[in-house]
Amino acid sequence: MTEEAPKPIGPYSQAIKVENLVFVSGQGPVDPRTGQIVSGGIAEQTRQTFENIRAILNAAGLTLEHVVKVSVFLKNIGDFSRMNEVYATLFKREPPARTTVQANLPLEGMLIEVDVVAAL
């Protein structure tokens, strides 16, 4: 566990390593320093969500380049294009496999949640 990402709000781990895979639990746009959802829209929330994921991966000795699968959950599928603009800046080489769906999210004001699988 790293203090550079939000603490879990339930009975789960930030990430679990199984053999050569690291499974990062769903992360949202919570600033780990304040415990609050970042202000702004989907672009700001997408950036913070991936900063949280990056911090967890870094604690495991990995980077976003190790990510092989991403699941994106959007409160409003209408945010897809704007989220995708930010996402494209994160994976400049061969992007990982990805699923994006609309979903009810657990925290008020949360527009995005993302989980990833990374390979060592």
Interval 16-40: pLDDT, tens: 999 999 999 999 999 999 999 999 9
CATH topology of domain 15-119: 60s Ribosomal Protein L30; Chain: A; (3.30.1330)
Query: Has residue 1 got a pLDDT over 90?
Result: no
How do residues 37-82 score in pLDDT, each as one tens digit? Answer: 999 999 999 999 999 999 999 999 999 999 999 999 999 999 999 9
What is the torsional sign of CA 5, 29, 44, 95?
positive
> What gap in Å lies between CA 47 and CA 72, rounded to an integer?
13
Token couple for 55: 């911090």
Domain boundaries, the chain: 15-119
In sequence order, which residues have a C-beta less than 8 Å from that of residue 71 and are 6 or more positions away? 26, 98, 99, 100, 101, 114, 115, 116
Query: Has residue 9 got a pLDDT over 90?
Result: no
